[in-house]
């Protein structure tokens, strides 16, 4: 297996595992409250409904990354889409939770390190996979 494909597969599976784990707080409000440091949180029906929607999309993105691994070079663009708008957008939403007063701090160290690390990994893998290719119009 080439280094380019290896890095793509590492990226796809890292993203899929992180997304699968992210489904847990989306289906369990108590876990969400603990991870976001919101004591005495009682989820409304509306909040649980939004969580359910988010869980469905997160599970779908998990499947998309596994699917991309089946044909890593042809589907490498998934990594760019995963970085922009998904990773960037999710972190923007975290800031909106803070601005709305729902969470006490906009980003924890983990909340900064994980998305930045994933973004660097995904973009490195994508651009690394382009090495040596010649494009024809």
How many residues are there in the chain? 137
CA dihedral 57, 84, 89, 30 (to 10 degrees): 50
The mean per-residue pLDDT over the stretch 52-67 comes to 96
State the Cα–Cα distance between residues 11 and 16, nearest whole angstrom. 8
Query: Cβ-count burial of 27 within 10 angstroms (0-12 exposed, 13-18 middle, 19+ buried)?
Result: middle
pTM, whole model, 2 decimals?
A: 0.86
Q: Provide the pLDDT for residue 39.
A: 86
Q: Provide the pLDDT for residue 26.
A: 94
Q: Provide the pLDDT for residue 134.
A: 66
């Amino acid at each position: 297996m080439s280094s380019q494909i290896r890095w793509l597969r590492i990226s796809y599976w890292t993203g899929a595992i992180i997304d699968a784990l992210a489904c847990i707080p989306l289906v369990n409000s108590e876990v969400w409250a603990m991870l976001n440091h919101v004591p005495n949180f009682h989820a409304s029906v509306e909040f649980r409904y939004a969580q359910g929607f988010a869980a469905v999309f997160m599970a779908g993105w998990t499947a998309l990354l596994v699917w991309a691994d089946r044909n890593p070079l042809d589907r490498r663009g998934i990594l760019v889409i995963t970085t922009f708008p998904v990773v960037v957008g999710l972190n923007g939403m975290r800031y909106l939770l803070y601005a709305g007063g729902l969470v006490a701090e906009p980003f924890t160290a983990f909340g900064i390190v994980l998305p930045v690390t994933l973004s660097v990994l995904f973009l490195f893998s994508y651009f690394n996979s382009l090495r040596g290719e010649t494009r024809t119009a």
